[in-house]
Structure 1
Amino acid sequence: MEEIDSMTFRQQLLAIDENLGQEDVEALKFLCSDWIPLKKLETVSSARDIFQLLINKDFLNPEDTFVIAELLYRIKCNFLLQKLGYTKEQVQEELPYRGLVSEYRQMLYEISEGLTKEDVGDAMFLLREHLPKKQSTTSSLELLTSLEKQDLLEDSNLEILERICSKLSPDLLKKVERYKRGKAPVFNQESTEMAPSSACGFSKPSFGNVSVQEPAVKHLPRNHIDSYPEETGSLREHVGSLLSLAANPDIKGGPSLLRSMGDGESKTTAEKTAFYKMDGPYRGYCLIFNNIHFEGGLGRRNGSQKDAMELERVFTWLGLDVRKYDDKTSKEIEEILKHWQSSENWKDRDCLVCCILSHGESGKIYGTDACLISIRDLMSYFTANRCPLLAEKPKLFFIQACQGEKTQQPVYLETDNHNRVHLGADAQRSRYASSQQLTSSIPAEADFLLGMATVDGYLSFRHVQQGTWYIQALCDNLQCLVPRGEDILSILTEVNADVSRRADTKGVMKQMPQPAYTLRKKMIFPVPRDPPPPAQPL
């Protein structure tokens, strides 16, 4: 029996290894470098090698695979957790007590993700006299590892790192400052206990002035206990009118983040004007159109109910009133939007979120009657002149639908085109794909965001049981990053990264989401007081 268990265990590890690329392996090596000597890590060429080293160190065995679950979570390969029998929610719940990756290592990894190739080249130039002459660093992780080898970077010596970040990105410097502040325990007047920070940065709520006590757990990292984290970032713009990357400003951490972001009595007028107002008596409405059954030969969208459930769960947690509409024709969708356009309820609401799950073609989605509707037309119901009560308020549209051409019959995954798809080599070919097409899909007026599951001309994929890659990644990242104070554009950047890592079982078919927006300010959902409710099975 033990031999069978051991073989099953190694088969699980092998299946994970087969789904990890070289960049993922490098990330795993970096995160493990506190436990495994660098000399041994230099010989690693695959995830299997790392797994064996962890087994040798007794960090990993058939009865306890949590260390792998944590590592997959840290590098955002959450779709592989199921191979170990974990869900993302289970990992998040156990991380505060079983996590092995130190806060120091996490901080370095976050900084590495924020450094571009150009940044690494600039850093190499700045550090030329401190690094070996033959140094040929090509990645941010290699740069940080080299600094550690030279004793220029360690938990108690962050001076070089601070100087680099101050020259390249002041926003990354704030991550270092946040970490340094978090190292010093903060005690309140009535308690000397601190609440452990959870995965995704969601602290367990305190009760009055009494915090949750840290349990005594084996392998608990020295710096794992921290106050409620803060995140920083920078706003970047692509050339042209399509904008796709951004992050939030400096947001003060600590328990104050458990209150609404709109509470900030200490914010200056300039700080307040940089954000959309999100402190009204009601957060807003989330409209979910979930089309599964179609006329005219369009395929049934199996798995879409999972998407609708997750959207309802997450946006309800974020404080929005959710209204769900199943299987609506094109005319019914337009009539529902007209009703909401004229609603007086928007007066006291902060925002609108509209999610449409359906089949689609370039710039359009299908109603259940097999009739196409322009995405631009749907969004235009809520322009300032047609819906004055939503003027100057953010209006977010998330579209889960194919935007490309016909393909063949599927096996395990389906596309949200009007035909099903076999995940073959031609599934990602596009006759036309341009950012201009996406940009022209949103109204010219301000305060709109359009999140598309895929770029124009391409397919988007849907698992018949687990839902679509895009919507599941959107919900996961909202749940993880809202508690960290991330703005919506930063969250969508992480969604892009998550979905881009997905692939079919052969590693051939890929998908790339694309946001476009006319937002004028940063939109940050207030941090809910309670942790998100667990996902419900179908």
Structure 2
Amino acid sequence: MENDVSLKFHQQLLLISENLVTEDVVAIKFLCMDFLHLSKLEAVKSAADIFKLLMAQEYLSAEDTFLLAELLYRIKCHSLLEKLGYTKEKVQECLHEKGRVSPYRQMLYELSENITDDMLKKIAFLLQNRLPKCWIITSALDLLSLLEKQGLLTEDNVQVLEYVFKIVSPDLLETIDNYKKAKDNKAANFTQGFPELNLELRGEFSNVGKGSKTLSSYKMDGPHRGFCLIINNVNFISSQRKGSCKDAEQLEKVFTWLGLDVRTYTDLTSEGITELMQTWQHMPDHKDRNCFICCILSHGASGAIYGTDYKLVSIRVLMTHFTAKQCPQLAGKPKLFFIQACQGDSTQRAVYVDTDGPTPDPSSMQERVSLSESIPEEADFLLGMATVDGCVSFRHTEEGTWYIQALCSKLQLLVPRGEDILSILTQVNEDVARRVDPSGRKKQMPQPAYTLRRKFIFPIPTAPPPSVQHLGF
């Protein structure tokens, strides 16, 4: 029986190892530097090698797999947690008592996730007299590890990071400041593994700009504002989303007025949507842009949208194409996604009012995904949903959807007043919430979710706003 348990455990580890790419292995090595000897880590070539080291030091066993679960959680490989019997939420609950990755290591890893290739070159140039001449720096983690080896970076001394980021990326100084403040405030509670502060410090990292400091705004004064993609799915296999072209037309006019380069794509399958995201993920022109916006008009289900082939595409998967890791050109820049689609079951249709719900067999529907799980965990994202999870959103068959028409109307009204995007979306919520279908019974409530660190304010256009008729239902 014991041999069976051991065999199953090693099979689990092998399966996890095979699902981790080279970047994941490098990240796990870095996170393990506090409790595995550096000389042994340098010989690691695969995730399985790390697992052997952890088992040899009794950090990992069939009876206690939490450290591995924590490591997978830290590098955001949440889908692999189920192979250990964990979920993302279960790991979060246990971190306070069982977490081993120190706040210092967390802080460094968070910084590495936001260091682009261009920033890395600048940092290496600034530190050229302090680093070995023959050393080739291939990644942010490689640089941070080298600084530690040289004794230039320690848990109690992060001055070298403050020096380079003050020049290269002042935004990242806030991550370092939060670490130092938390370390000073909780110094009496620190232990070798820093278990008490894992959750608390993680929370403080997400509170950038709160408290007595005035929240600054994203830079929006570059030579080009950014790209705006509009995916307009109208013609499905067995139905049409009548009125959607009105939405696409208004969005194109408004975002062009706001200075964005708009690209509209019509009737994409699930595969076509995914391929489009991959194409724009690697677009080099993002480098000179201030932001990125994507609007998707389609049928939908919980946490997903449909291609015209009635196959679901996860909203979260679409958005993660534009994280700092996957799209370095947009690192630190705001990425806004507006989704016009139902997020739940269809409702009885009324005169002139249609719903953006699915028509396929309900048995094919996926499980619900909460809004908080729909956006990437890293900073600088905003997801504007036409409706709350589980509910339908309404579309006038001639004049477009309640949500998109309200969004276009409020952008034209409030951008010239200098309002930030969250204030604008709050008024969009209020506008849509007032609307009612012809029967007088059906309502809708939009919902934004975001990881923005600063205010997002569109520069006021010099031209007058395009005229958008305010619809009254």
Q: TM-score, normalised by structure 2?
A: 0.53
In structure 2, which of residues 366, 372, 383 is the aligned counterpart of residue 475 of structure 1? 372
1:251 aligns with 2:240: no
CA contact (8 A) 2:72 2:80 kept: yes
Letter in 2 for 1:523: L
In structure 1, which of residues 363, 371, 377 is the aligned counterpart of residue 240 of structure 2? 371
Q: Distance in 2 between matches of 1:86 and 1:366?
A: 41
Q: Distance in 1 between matches of 2:127 and 2:217?
A: 39
Secondary structure of the structure 1 residue equivalent to 2:71 = helix
Q: Distance in 2 between matches of 1:420 and 1:3?
A: 47
Deviations 1:156-215 (A, max 9, x none): 11111111111111111111011000012269xxxxx9xxxxxxxxxxxxxxxxxxxx9x
Q: What displacement does 1:153 show? A: 0.4
Partner residue in 2 for 1:79:
79
Letter in 2 for 1:450: F
Q: What displacement does 1:523 show? A: 3.3
Partner residue in 1 for 2:19:
19
CA contact (8 A) 2:95 2:199 kept: no
* Equivalent runs, 1:280-429 vs 2, <5 Å: 363-365=232-234, 370-373=239-242, 375=244, 377-378=246-247, 402-404=269-271, 416-419=306-309
* Equivalent runs, 1:40-51 vs 2, <5 Å: 40-51=40-51
Taking a change above 3 Å as real, the CA distance of residues 404 and 227 of structure 1, as seen in their structure-2 partners, is: closer
1:138 aligns with 2:138: yes
Q: Distance in 2 between matches of 1:54 and 1:72?
A: 14
Secondary structure of the structure 1 residue equivalent to 2:203 = coil
Taking a change above 3 Å as real, the CA distance of residues 219 and 117 of structure 1, as seen in their structure-2 partners, is: closer
CA contact (8 A) 2:107 2:176 kept: yes
Partner residue in 2 for 1:229:
203
* Equivalent runs, 1:153-192 vs 2, <5 Å: 153-185=153-185
Deviations 1:208-240 (A, max 9, x none): xxxxxx9x99955375474683447xxxxxxxx
Partner residue in 1 for 2:387:
none
Aligned residues: 301
Letter in 2 for 1:33: M
Q: Distance in 2 between matches of 1:12 and 1:69?
A: 12
Secondary structure of the structure 1 residue equivalent to 2:209 = coil
Q: Distance in 2 between matches of 1:28 and 1:228?
A: 18
Partner residue in 1 for 2:114:
114
Partner residue in 1 for 2:338:
450
Secondary structure of the structure 2 residue equivalent to 1:96 = helix
Q: What displacement does 1:113 show? A: 0.6
CA contact (8 A) 1:148 1:154 kept: yes
Taking a change above 3 Å as real, the CA distance of residues 379 and 86 of structure 1, as seen in their structure-2 partners, is: farther
Q: Distance in 2 between matches of 1:104 and 1:87?
A: 25
CA contact (8 A) 2:31 2:109 kept: yes
CA contact (8 A) 1:81 1:87 kept: yes
1:523 aligns with 2:422: yes
Taking a change above 3 Å as real, the CA distance of residues 122 and 28 of structure 1, as seen in their structure-2 partners, is: same
RMSD: 4.6
CA contact (8 A) 1:115 1:140 kept: yes
Deviations 1:356-395 (A, max 9, x none): xxxxx9621567952244655347799999xxxxxxxxxx
Partner residue in 2 for 1:294:
none
Secondary structure of the structure 2 residue equivalent to 1:23 = helix
Q: What displacement does 1:50 show? A: 0.7
CA contact (8 A) 2:51 2:60 kept: yes
Q: Distance in 1 between matches of 2:109 and 2:152?
A: 17
CA contact (8 A) 1:24 1:75 kept: yes
Q: Distance in 1 between matches of 2:340 and 2:121?
A: 33
Partner residue in 2 for 1:151:
151
Secondary structure of the structure 2 residue equivalent to 1:450 = strand
Secondary structure of the structure 2 residue equivalent to 1:27 = helix
Gaps of 5+ in 2: 219-229, 255-267, 275-303, 312-335, 342-362, 385-407, 427-473
Structure with the largest fraction of helix: 2
Q: Distance in 2 between matches of 1:115 and 1:478?
A: 20
CA contact (8 A) 1:363 1:403 kept: no
Q: What displacement does 1:79 show? A: 0.9
Taking a change above 3 Å as real, the CA distance of residues 223 and 150 of structure 1, as seen in their structure-2 partners, is: farther
Q: Which runs of 4+ in 1 moved over 4 A?
A: 216-220, 271-274, 365-369, 373-376, 378-385, 403-407, 418-421, 463-468, 477-481, 517-520
CA contact (8 A) 1:69 1:81 kept: yes
1:97 aligns with 2:134: no
Gaps of 5+ in 1: 188-192, 194-213, 233-247, 254-265, 275-360, 386-400, 408-413, 422-447, 454-462, 493-516, 527-538
Q: Distance in 2 between matches of 1:225 and 1:415?
A: 33
Secondary structure of the structure 2 residue equivalent to 1:523 = helix
CA contact (8 A) 1:55 1:61 kept: yes
Q: TM-score, normalised by structure 1?
A: 0.47
Q: Distance in 2 between matches of 1:64 and 1:419?
A: 44
Q: Distance in 1 between matches of 2:28 and 2:365?
A: 29
Deviations 1:399-428 (A, max 9, x none): xx8455699xxxxxx99445478xxxxxxx
Taking a change above 3 Å as real, the CA distance of residues 380 and 186 of structure 1, as seen in their structure-2 partners, is: farther
